[in-house]
Amino acid sequence: MGDSAVPPEGIVVVDKPSGWTSHDVVARIRRLARTKRVGHAGTLDPMATGVLVVGVGRATRMLGYISGADKTYAAGIRLGWATVTDDAEGARLGGAAAHELAREDLDRGIAALTGPILQRPSAVSAIKVDGRRSHERVRSGEEVELAERPVTVSRFDVLDVRPDALGGCVDVDVVVDCTSGTYVRALARDLGAALGVGGHLTALRRTRVGCFHLDQARALEDLEETFDVTDMATAAAAAFPSVTLTAADANAVRYGRPIELGMAWTRSDAPAPAHALFAVDGQLLALARPRPDDSTEYLAVFAQPSVSR
């Protein structure tokens, strides 16, 4: 890309390396894309790796709706002691020998944390408490206990169990499907607490955010060699339910005028998701969702009115 090239607009799925913050990745993509208009959909802790969805240009306006999608994680949990941060980087707290735990007890503990649950987020989360992030308060020595919130863990499967008789611990490899806002480190903490031995997270790799999977993710080294993006229309069609509009409705969207789509909206018991609105020629017009009266709430309008000459 030459210095005069127009910066690309679209989505990049990055395989975040360990030791990098999500902000570090955004800073690198800003340099590669030669634009400051870059953001990400859902923070990963520095120790975590895997899928980080990055938006470039106007695609940043999609990120808030992508970040609300369900996610999949591969994780390592060590049973035998808890830590201040609920992961391997925190100071060790109390625990008990776990290497003789019965598999039936482990399975019951996991079953109790599967489905709709109330979860107390990890104190080292980015949630703000009186204007300051919880993790900052914890690392400055404060004790923080956040309020419970509803989340859904639709899958919590054990892949491997490795007892360590000498160390008195048990390492458990798991895969978790969950709603946005679920803390896997809190699952590790709560599993250890329920079993009476303490637990913490030892590894975390995000393998999916909504429709974006690990096999689509690119290493930063590869992006240094060849930087490109998935264009906005393709990304929106994959990430959201899509509606193709008539020419009249498409023109109304360009001017931000209301339209009524009736049965074209996706229906569910959950709040209506963002929909991608397209013109007949495939142009991405907007993200929108239905109001209760089936009129349209525009979340982001990308198409501009045609200029007559």
Q: Which residues are catalytic?
A: 45
**CA dihedral sign, ordered 120, 137, 21, 76:** negative
- Element of type H or E holding 242: strand 242-244
Q: Is 110 exposed, middle or buried (0-12, 13-18, 19+ CB in 10 A)?
A: buried
**CA dihedral sign, ordered 297, 300, 305, 306:** negative
Q: Which two tokens stand for residue 258?
A: 């209301």
DSSP string, 153-214: EEEEEEEEEEEETTTTEEEEEEEEEE-TT--HHHHHHHHHHHHTS-EEEEEEEEEEETTEEG
In sequence order, the 6+-apart residues with CB closer than 8 A to the CB of 284 are 232, 233, 236, 276, 277, 278, 302, 303
CA–CA dist 50, 44 (Å, integer): 8
Judged by DSSP in three states, 132 sits in strand
CA–CA dist 212, 208 (Å, integer): 6
CA–CA dist 59, 25 (Å, integer): 16
